[in-house]
Every structure is written in structure tokens, then in C-alpha cells.
Structure 1
Amino acid sequence: MDGASNGDGAGTGIELISLEAHKIRRATHLAFHATNNDVEYEALINGLKLALEMKINGAYQAKGLRTKIYLKCAQRIIARFNEVRLELIPCGQNEGADELAKLGSRREATLLGVVPLDIQRQPSVPEHEVGSLSDDLSSTWMTLILA
């Protein structure tokens, strides 16, 4: 799975490979503003959802409120599997997913017909969660501003 965010837009690329080496490829254009971190989590979440549809461990850092919400969403999906193995693949060895993510971000037609291109109109995590602050926050520098 990979994500791409650039001047043309944002997209995700997913390449699932079965134990028998069968490949399922999917590119998705994200029709909403998404940061580089957002698209990486969208790729993870969309890949997990695709794996669930097809009946087919990691440690993460979450920086920022939206990223933490993406992480929780991904963890909820991962919990639905009997076993999940997530493997970090260096950029230079992840050409398939990288190409799909770029295809999704630019909505290029060169691979259409070969690779399904989905359009995702909203983030996988609810917008109201992204912009809201929890009531159980302890006193911080923002407390007076929020009051």
C-alpha cells in the first residue's frame, strides 16, 4: 500500500499479493484535501478493507489529531482479522503500490481498464472527529483560548 499527495491531487495504491502470488491491484483518487500522512493511512485502511472483501503487527507513530484518528480506525479494522502481518517495504522496492498511488493522485488514464480507479469523496475517518477536541483534556495552553 502506498499514498501520494502532490499538486495534482491525492491518491492511494494497493497491491495485495496472495500466498500463491496472485495480485489484486487498486488505485483510488481522493477527491478531498489530504496530507502525506493522511494518504498513507487512507492506503492502509483501504487495503485492509479490500483484504476483508477478498477474504484474504506493526508499531506506528501517530503525529497530530487526524493521524491519531486514522491510526485508531486502522486498528479497529485490523482487529477484525485473525492474523495480520504488515511489512514495511522500502520505497525503492515498492514500485507497484507507488505507481498505483501516483495513478490515483493524478487520475491518469494510462492504466485505466487494467487497474480499477476508484474515486473516494470523503476521508475514511469522520470530519467531525478530526476537528473536535475531547472534553477530557487536562489544562493546557489552549484551555483559555477554548474557554
Structure 2
Amino acid sequence: MEEDTFEEEKRLWKLSVDGSSCVSGSGAGLVLTSPDGWTIEYALRFGFKATNNEAEWEALIVGLIITKHLEVQKIEASSDSQLVVGLLSEEYEAREHSMAKYFAHIQNLKLAFQVLRVLKVPRAENARADQLSKLATAKKL
């Protein structure tokens, strides 16, 4: 790895996202890690019904909006959603209108960042975001 590439990698913020939908509700888990290693974790409960795929998109959108407000310029987002990452890498084509709208929204959000990469990670590597998304969808007391 070249020196410049290595330095750029060190300056990237990392965002892990996961969406969840079940009978008791839908929500998202987000883990945002700065280049210095400090971490912000969010468990968000949505006030609307969402499918699992919609919850995955919503998780990524919320994560990117938060990082945008923090004025983060370089970010590497990771998700265990094959559909979301496949659509963003243009490996897949959006066949449903709602998926195309989510794709377009992310394309618009990309403009706020110098670097935005979205990577597919195995579910095991996304465990903390998954735990937070499950917490967000837990039954209300």
C-alpha cells in the first residue's frame, strides 16, 4: 500500500449499520468510529413500519446524515445487506420503485462527502450494529 493511500485509510471514519424489522417494530443500529478511535453508538426506533430491506436503507441514510452533520468528509460504511450494497455497487438493478428511491437518495447524499465507500461485511463482523438494531425493535414496556 502506498504511503498516501495508507494515510488516507487512517483518516477514514467507519460507519457500521444494520436495520431490523419485526412484529414489535422496526429500527436501526449504528456504530460510528472516528479515525482516532472514539465511538458513537445509536439504537433508533422508527415510527413507521418497514420491511427488513427498507430498515437497512433507513439505517444507512440516518448514519450518513449524522456523519454529514458532524462534517465528516471521508467515510467507509459497512452493511451486511447484500441488496443495499449490491444496488450501490450497481451489481444489482433496482426493480422495485421503493428501492430505486432509496438508491437515488443515497446518490444525492454522496455529494456531501469527499470519499464514501459502502462495503458488504459478513453478519458476524456487523455484530454490534445488529445488537443495537435489535435493541431498537425490542417490545416497548
Aligned counterpart, 2:138: 106
Which structure shows the higher strand fraction? 2
Q: Does 1:65 align with 2:81?
A: no
Tell me which residue corresponds to 1:97. Answer: 129
Q: Which residue of 2 aligns with 1:87?
A: 119
Per-residue Cα deviation, 1:80-131 (whole angstroms, up to 9, x for no partner): 111112222210111111011111122668xxxxxxxxxxxxxxxxxxxxxx
Counterpart contact for 1:78–1:84, Cα < 8 Å: yes
Please name the residue that 2:50 is paired with.
34
Residues 29, 107 of structure 1: 8 Å contact kept? no
- Say whether 1:4 aligns with 2:4: no
- Cα deviation digits, residues 7-59 of structure 1 (max 9, x gap): 11100111111111111111111111101110010001001001111122851
| RMSD value, Cα | 1.8
* Residues 1:24 and 2:15 aligned together: no
| Secondary structure at 1:68 match in 2 | helix
Conservation of the 8 A alpha-carbon contact between 1:9 and 1:105? yes
What SS does structure 1 have at the residue aligned with 2:117? coil
- Give the TM-score of the pair, scaled to structure 2: 0.70
What's the counterpart of residue 131 of structure 1? none
Gaps of 5+ in 1: 110-147
- Which structure: greater helix fraction? 2
Q: Secondary structure at the match of 1:106?
A: coil
Distance (whole Å) between structure 1 residues aligned to residue 56 and residue 69 of structure 2: 20
Tell me which stretches of 4 or more aligned residues in structure 1 moved more than 6 Å: none
Which sections of structure 2, spanning at least 5 residues, go unmatched?
Answer: 1-16, 77-87
Task: Assess, with a 3 A threshold, how the Cα gap between structure 1 residues 66 and 25 changes in structure 2: closer, same or farther.
Answer: same
Structure with larger Rg: 1
- Give the TM-score, by structure 1 length: 0.68
Secondary structure, counterpart of 1:100 in structure 2? helix
- The alignment-based identity, stated in percent, is 31
